[in-house]
Amino acid sequence: MSRLDDDDRDELVSACRTATGDSLRSVTYFTPAEYEQVYLRSDLERDADLESFVAVEQRGFDAEEAYRDSELGDYDFTIRVFDAGYVTRVVNPEKEDGVFVTTDALAMNGFEGVASAISGVLA
């Protein structure tokens, strides 16, 4: 059972859409034990192997700990680059939840914008 209610889902999708515009492909909320795809753009198929993506992105909770006290500063978010799109992941270790979004191409400030929007909703 997801920790998100309908208002949370709407707020999350709205924040991601505002930050990315028509480049937004999907939004998935996850915890260490569960996940829920809360948005999928209408021109995309529902046959993606979402469980494999979630399993990789759930490792973000470990990344938060691994990068603690880095000389680079605090860990903020992760971007993964693919031939046909991008994955941006943000985790909130205090609440043990996170979100990853898939997008078409964005400028770097677009990734920062969506990460900031997600962080605001998770907080």
DSSP E strands in the chain: the ranges are 24-30, 35-40, 78-82, 85-92, 97-103
**In which band, very low, low, confident or very high, does the pLDDT at 2 lie, cut at 50, 70 and 90?**
low
Rounded to an integer, the average pLDDT of 45-70 is: 84
**Rounded-to-integer distance, Cα 122 and Cα 29, Å:** 10
What are 76-118's pLDDT values in tens digits?
Answer: 899 999 999 999 999 988 889 999 999 999 998 999 999 999 9
Residue type for position 108? M
CATH class of this structure's domain 6-122 = alpha beta
